[in-house]
Amino acid sequence: MQQSVTKTDETAAIAALHTIATAQQTYAVTSGGSYGTFQQLREGGYLDSRFSSTTPEVKGYILTMAVNGNSFSCNADPAPPGSGRHFYTDATSPVIHVNPSQPATAQDAGLQP
């Protein structure tokens, strides 16, 4: 049973990263190419109330985002003492990268469909 809970949590984290990436792309189009923080994306109506803190938690995963003008990156990492894979996306590609044991980066393998 624990494995199915982890798989469900991972699926929710991956979906959250896709939602964030889509919100960022839309925000960038309307803001002259700049990306937004969780707060800016929420206030603009691009994200819902699940993302109402600087490090929101979705199904046991903590989301952290770094924004630097025309770039952003976002990680989804298991909340302590959770177990599970780590995920990452950024402004350069819609690919979700995965690492089995530590915070993922753009250098990690992309998820296979």
pLDDT tens sequence across 85-113? 999 999 999 999 999 999 999 999 999 76
Q: Which two tokens stand for residue 60?
A: 């046991």
pLDDT tens sequence across 20-33? 999 999 999 999 99
Alpha helices in 1-113 (DSSP H): 2-30, 38-43
Domain regions of the chain by residue span: 2-99
- The pTM score is 0.92
Q: Do the beta carbons of residue 17 and residue 74 sit within 8 Å?
A: yes
Q: Do the beta carbons of residue 87 and residue 17 sit within 8 Å?
A: yes
